[in-house]
Amino acid sequence: MAITQEDVLKALSYVEEPDLGKDLVTLNMIEDVHIDGRTVSFTVVLTTPACPLKELIHNACVRAIHTMVDKDADVQIKMTSRVTTMRQNRDILPGVRNIIAIASGKGGVGKSTVTANLAIALAKTGAKVGLVDADISGPSMPLMFGVEDARPHVFRTPDGRNQIQPIEAYGVKIMSIGFLAPAESAIVWRGPMASSALKQFITEVDWGELDYLLLDMPPGTSDIHLTMVQTVPVTGSVIVTTPQKVALADAEKGLQMFRLPQINVPVLGVVENMAWFTPAELPENKYFIFGEGGGTALAEKHQVPLLGQIPLVQSIRENGDYGTPAILLSGTPAAEVFGQLAEELARQVSIRNAVAPKTNIVEMNS
- Does 113 bind ligand ATP (CB under 6 A)? Our answer is yes
- Does 317 bind ligand ATP (CB under 6 A)? Our answer is yes
The answer to whether 22 is annotated as binding is no
User: What does the alpha-carbon distance between residue 222 and residue 205 come to, in Å, rounded to a whole number?
Assistant: 24
Helix, strand, coil abundance in the chain, percent, nearest 5: 35, 25, 40
Nearer to ligand ATP, 20 or 337 (CB): 337
Whole-angstrom CA distances from 1 to 62, 69, 153, 296 are 19, 10, 63, 54
Q: Which of 87, 97, 111, 352 binds ligand ATP (CB under 6 A)?
A: 111
Judged by CB under 6 A, which stretch of 8-16, 63-71, 260-268, 307-315 contacts ligand ATP? 307-315
The answer to whether 229 is annotated as binding is no
- Cβ–Cβ < 8 Å for 85, 198: no
- Does 273 bind ligand ATP (CB under 6 A)? Our answer is yes
Residue nearest to ligand ATP (CB): 110
- Cβ–Cβ < 8 Å for 342, 271: no
* Least CB distance to ligand ATP at residue 300 (A): 22
The answer to whether 106 is annotated as binding is yes
Q: Which of 320, 343, 351, 352 binds ligand ATP (CB under 6 A)?
A: 320
- Does 107 bind ligand ATP (CB under 6 A)? Our answer is yes
- Does 231 bind ligand ATP (CB under 6 A)? Our answer is no
User: What does the alpha-carbon distance between residue 145 and residue 147 come to, in Å, rounded to a whole number?
Assistant: 6
- Does 313 bind ligand ATP (CB under 6 A)? Our answer is yes
User: What does the alpha-carbon distance between residue 32 and residue 12 come to, in Å, rounded to a whole number?
Assistant: 13
The answer to whether 331 is annotated as binding is no
CA quadruple 114, 273, 85, 12: dihedral positive or negative?
Answer: positive
- Does 52 bind ligand ATP (CB under 6 A)? Our answer is no
Residue count at the site for ligand ATP (CB under 6 A)?
20
Concatenated DSSP letters of 205-243: B---SEEEEEEEPPSSS-HHHHHHHHHS---EEEEEE-S
Distance from the first to the final alpha carbon of the chain: 70
Residues that bind ligand ATP (CB under 6 A): 104, 107-113, 135, 138, 140, 219, 273-274, 310, 312-313, 316-317, 320
Bind-site residues for ATP = 105-112
